[in-house]
Structure formats: C-alpha cells, structure tokens
Amino acid sequence: MEKLKQFWHKDGTRSVMASLLSILIGLLAGSVLILIVGLCTPTQGLKAAWDGIRLVFLGLVSTGRDAATGALTFGFNPTSMGNLLFRAMPVILTGLSVAVAYKTGLFNIGAPGQYLMGMSASLLIALGLPTGVGELYQFQLAQGMEPAAFFLPTWLVWIFAFAGGMLAGAAWGAIPGMLKSLLNINEVIACIMTNWIAANVVTWIFDVSSFKNMIENTKTAYIYKTTVNGVATSKMGLDKLFPNSQVNGGIIIAIVLAVLVSILLSRTTFGYQLKACGSNRYAARYAGIKDKRNIVLSMAIAGCLAGAAGSLYALSGNTEFFWSTYQQLPAVGFNGIPVALLASNNPIGVIFAGLFMSMLDISGLQLTNLTAYNEYITDVIIAAIVYLSAFSLVIKTFISGRRKKAAPKAGKEVRAK
C-alpha cells in the first residue's frame, strides 16, 4: 500500500493522470455538443447524435455503414490506421520541437517557419539532383532539355534531401535562439517574425524555380511530388500491413527521433545542462554552464526537429506542396504546441499525444463522411483538451488531493513553539 501511495504521488504519474483527465473531459464536451446539435436539429435526432458520439470515440475502427440496414459497422480498418500513422508523423516531430525548447525555458512558436524551411530545402534537393528516372526526367527530355552529365541513386538523393531539410530547420531555429541569448529579445516575438519571413522566402524561391507542376496542367500552383523522380520515403513494408493508406517509413523515423531526444534529455550531460538553463538560467551560469550557447543549441535542435517534420512530409510523395505559402502558415507547425502540452513536454509522451490528436482527425473525417456532422466538432474537442492541459498543474493538485499550507499559518506555529 505504501508503494502504491508513493507511485500515486509521483510527478510523472500525476502528469499522466492529468492528461488522461483532460482527454476524457474534452471527449465528453464534444459528445455533449453532438447531443445538443442532434436534439435541436429535426432532421437528425437522438439516433444521429448517438452515431456521432460513437464515431468520436471509435472513428478509427469504423468501417462504414451496412448496405442493408444503414447501421454503423466497426472493425479493424487498415486504411484509417495507416492514415493515422502518416498524419501523426509530422505532428510528433513538431511536438518534440516545442517540448525540447520548453525544457530550456523557451517557447518555440516558430515551428511553422522551421517546418516550411525544412520542407522547401528537402524539395529543392530532392527535385534538383538528377536521378535519371521518373516522370519528371521523361518530361524534361520531351521538352528538349539536355540530360545531366551524371545521375545519383534515388536513395542517396533521399538522404541528402532529409539531411538538408533538418539542417535548414536547425539554421532557421537558431536565429531566434541567437536573438534571445545575445540581445535578450523575446523568443516568441522573434519566432513570429521568422515564421512570416520563412513563408515569403519559400514562396519567392518556388515562384522563380522550375519545380512547379507542369506535367499536370490543373496543378501548376503546386510543386512536383517527389514520386515524379523516384525520391520518396520507403514504405518499409507498412503498406502491406495497412493497404490503401498513405503510411510510409517516416513514422518509424519520427519514433526513433523521439526516443533519441528522450535519451539526450534524460541520460546525457548536455541534456542536464539544457534543463538546468530552463530551470534557472542565471543559476546555471553561476554553476559554470554556458547558458547562451545552450539557448542557441536548444532552438537549433527544436528547429532541426520541425525541419525533419517538413522534410518527411514532403519526401512522402503523397501530396503536392502549395508553393504560395505566404498566404498562410502550415497548421501542423502550430499543432505541435497542443501535442507538447498534452504530453507534459515528455518526448515519449509526445508520441502517444501525436497519435491521439491524429486519431481525432480521422474521427473528424468519419463524422463528415458517415453523418450529418462535420470535422469541426473534433476541433472543439481538441480545443477543450488543450485548454485543460494548460491548467495541468491545477489538475495535478486536484488529483493528488494535497494542499500547500499557507505561509502565515506556518509562521504562527513556529512562534507558538
């Protein structure tokens, strides 16, 4: 019993319980919203509301509706599961980006810009280096372009593209880190500025480039997919487990990076120094830790992870990249913030938080496809979860049932003695 009490009062246990409670309350809030909308809409009613609530909780294993009765059917859905893993891949990495910066006492709201820079660098390298295969090469020959003097194997181009995306994200993340460490400029302001600078720089780069999709006449506002020249992330056999889905080996790379970040932060001297700077920058400096250097390195690592997210998404070859990015920033960069919050900035917890958030996205699509509701209800659920996660300390205190004694009362007891 004593060991159970000790386990219950551990900070890690209370953090997990606080996150689970936030998720439960968020799901219940979404269910109540579905019920209210269903009861207030004559064309839907209680049955439609019940279908919507079930899809919120079980959308991942929904297989559609029975052709005869129209009732919802449930079972293992390999397509939804594979799409879940694909959607979770960039969110896990942007969540790691936010979590690493937070460990050093920084709030990395610049993940969208770092994501864009990583994605653009990967696309430029992947599409720019000659491979001598694919639709792009055949198209260039048909246009009378001279073939390259040499060709590289596609796997080597992939490695160059992925490494280039990570380095581009790291360089972009280091900018607000240097402004913070050298000039004490708030990293939030610096990150917001670098986000929009990145959006405009990326738009300009692709606007003057030759990588706009000219093969498909209806998609000239998009950049070629990396499948056009054979440079795409390997499926690693996952397409056999989850057929008809977008999954590829990128999810494995994301999980490996999360494990490496966890080891870095918890098992190395450098990780200890980063956390020391986050706890108290000036005390860390007094102890001989180079706080300015660690702030820059922390933001560079955070940018590297966000750049890896953009790189893996671009190299997947599943979707075209819309080159006119100055109009809006990628939502996946901001989605890393709620993932990190829900995981209490734990790198391993980020994996599960990213999978959960992606599961809600799948449930939202199922709501749209199978009911009269739409996916925006899942946005309400995510908002409720994030809002509660921001109050994780209050929730943890509530769970533990402990209250700190007031200082004046303690002082009175001392005087009484």
Mean per-residue pLDDT over the chain, rounded: 85
Contact 228, 135 (CB under 8 A): yes
User: For residue range 4-29, what is the model confidence (pLDDT) as tens digits?
Assistant: 666 656 666 777 888 888 888 888 88
User: For residue range 225-239, what is the model confidence (pLDDT) as tens digits?
Assistant: 888 888 889 999 898
Which structural domains are found in the chain, ordered by start?
Answer: 1-76+372-411 (no CATH), 79-361 (1.10.3470)
Kindly indicate the confidence band of residue 214, based on its pLDDT and cuts at 50, 70 and 90: confident
Kindly indicate the confidence band of residue 407, based on its pLDDT and cuts at 50, 70 and 90: very low
Q: Which residue carries 């795409």 as its tokens?
A: 232
Kindly indicate the confidence band of residue 327, based on its pLDDT and cuts at 50, 70 and 90: confident
User: For residue range 51-78, what is the model confidence (pLDDT) as tens digits?
Assistant: 888 988 888 999 888 888 888 999 999 9
Provide long-range contacts, Cβ within 8 A and 24+ apart, for 23-29: 23/342, 23/356, 23/385, 25/384, 25/385, 25/388, 26/381, 26/382, 26/384, 26/385, 26/388, 27/56, 27/57, 27/381, 29/380, 29/381, 29/384
Cα 333 from Cα 353, distance rounded (Å)? 15
User: For residue range 137-192, what is the model confidence (pLDDT) as tens digits?
Assistant: 666 666 566 666 668 888 999 999 999 999 999 999 999 999 999 998 999 999 99
- % of the chain residues with pLDDT over 90: 43
Kindly indicate the confidence band of residue 397, based on its pLDDT and cuts at 50, 70 and 90: low
Max CA pair span of the chain: 96
What pLDDT is attached to residue 112? 95
Kindly indicate the confidence band of residue 119, based on its pLDDT and cuts at 50, 70 and 90: very high
What pLDDT is attached to residue 281? 85
Contact 211, 123 (CB under 8 A): yes
Q: Does residue 194 or residue 10 have the better pLDDT? A: 194
What pLDDT is attached to residue 297? 95
- % of the chain residues with pLDDT over 70: 86
Exposed e or buried b for every residue in 171-203, given b needs 16+ CB within 10 A?
Answer: bbbbbbbbbbbeeeeebeebbbbbbebbbebbb
pLDDT higher than threshold 60 for residue 408: no
What pLDDT is attached to residue 2? 64
Cα 207 from Cα 201, distance rounded (Å)? 10
What pLDDT is attached to residue 188? 93
Q: Among residues 226, 252, 256, which one has the least CA distance to residue 238? A: 252
Q: Which residue carries 């993340």 as its tokens?
A: 173
pLDDT higher than threshold 90 for residue 318: no
Inter-CA distances, 185 with 179, 267, 277, 334, Å:
6, 31, 17, 21
Helix axes 291-315, 331-342, angle to 10 degrees: 120
pLDDT higher than threshold 90 for residue 95: yes
What pLDDT is attached to residue 414? 47
pLDDT higher than threshold 50 for residue 403: no
What pLDDT is attached to residue 131? 80
Q: How many residues comprise the chain?
A: 417
Q: Which of 218-222, 324-328, 361-365 has the highest mean pLDDT?
A: 361-365
pLDDT higher than threshold 80 for residue 388: no
Cα 175 from Cα 179, distance rounded (Å)? 6
Phi, psi for 383 (deg, rounded to 5):
-60, -40
Q: Which of 144-153, 218-227, 302-311, 330-339 is least confident?
A: 144-153
pLDDT higher than threshold 80 for residue 216: no
What pLDDT is attached to residue 380? 82
Q: Among residues 54, 31, 84, 101, which one has the least CA distance to residue 354? A: 84
Q: Does residue 304 or residue 22 have the better pLDDT? A: 304
Q: Which of 90-99, 109-118, 213-222, 270-279 is least confident?
A: 213-222
Token pair of 178, please?
Answer: 């240097």
Q: Does residue 212 or residue 195 have the better pLDDT? A: 195
